[in-house]
């Protein structure tokens, strides 16, 4: 493990727990976890931050997926089909991520953060109700193909290349394309997200860009946060998370913007 101060280690573990909780409830835990790694480990390459992020996230996401599948209605077969395409897409994205520098990655994450914040602000009902009038409509073959190719392949590639916000994008896309209510979309997204994380992690591990010791410790906190978040989402809904998510997003944008300006 790279030399890391105890304070930084504690903060990274807390960030991992919070990211697991946010990811399980509304998706987008990477919006907190990856910037935390970039900020906490400024001398580590972007590829190592991305690889370590995947090694942490796959544990919490897997725990949340199991919790959801046990309680929420999920079309596992469909989720697996989308997930396999997403796995291939994420491996391709991770392959290209090796050449990305922190200087390039930081402004990209800022744009993604602002985009998610704008969507959450403009859609106050996001995460608090079903997907509107489309909920419950029958799913056509064309929509299944769209979900498998565009949602799986496209978002999978993005997850391997950058990552932050993937869970949120999956929930939105699955709700829109397959007419799933948000609880079912969240549960389905977790299965797909496990696949994207697995594909990207396999490539990062092959390239040797994972800080395994740090990832193992952070993963325990991420798993705990993910399990707690899944239980809260199933029992209380996710409306209360909006304020927390927006606070985190704007705080990270401010910090990343300051670092970019100072650089």
pLDDT digits 0-9 by tens, 215-234: 999 999 999 998 998 888 77
How sure is the predictor about 253, in pLDDT bands with cuts at 50, 70 and 90?
Answer: confident
Domain-by-domain residue ranges, the chain? 6-262
Q: If you count them, how many residues does the chain have? A: 263
Distance CA 176, CA 126 (A): 12
Query: 25: closest CA among 258, 250, 247, 231?
Result: 231
The residue with greater pLDDT, 239 or 259, is 259
Q: What is the pTM of this model?
A: 0.76
Distance CA 225, CA 172 (A): 22
When pLDDT is averaged across residues 39-61 and rounded to a whole number, the result is 91
Q: Where are the beta strands (DSSP E) in 8-93?
A: none
- Is the pLDDT score of 117 beyond 80? no
Half-sphere exposure of 99 (CA within 13 A, CB side): 4
């Amino acid at each position: 493990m790279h030399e890391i101060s105890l304070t930084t280690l504690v903060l990274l573990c807390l960030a991992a727990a919070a990211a697991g909780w946010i990811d399980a409830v509304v998706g987008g835990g990477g919006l907190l976890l990856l910037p935390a790694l970039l900020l906490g480990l400024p001398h580590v390459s972007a590829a190592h931050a991305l690889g370590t992020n995947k090694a942490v996230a796959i544990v919490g996401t897997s725990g949340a997926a199991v919790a959801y599948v046990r309680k929420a209605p999920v079309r596992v077969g469909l989720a697996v089909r989308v997930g396999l395409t997403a796995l291939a897409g994420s491996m391709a994205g991770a392959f290209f991520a090796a050449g990305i520098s922190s200087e390039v990655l930081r402004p990209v994450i800022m744009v993604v953060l602002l985009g998610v914040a704008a969507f959450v602000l403009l859609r106050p009902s996001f995460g608090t109700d079903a997907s509107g009038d489309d909920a419950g409509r029958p799913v056509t073959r064309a929509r299944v193909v769209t979900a498998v190719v565009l949602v799986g392949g496209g978002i999978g590639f993005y997850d391997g290349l950058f990552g932050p916000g993937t869970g949120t994008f999956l929930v939105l896309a699955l709700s829109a394309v397959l007419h799933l209510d948000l609880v079912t979309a969240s549960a389905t997204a977790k299965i797909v997200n496990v696949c994207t994380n697995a594909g990207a992690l396999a490539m990062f591990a092959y390239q040797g860009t994972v800080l395994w010791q740090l990832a193992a410790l952070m993963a325990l906190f991420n798993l705990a946060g993910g399990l707690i978040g899944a239980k809260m989402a199933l029992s209380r809904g996710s409306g209360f998370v909006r304020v927390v998510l927006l606070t985190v997003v704007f705080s990270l944008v401010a910090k990343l913007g300051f670092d970019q300006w100072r650089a």
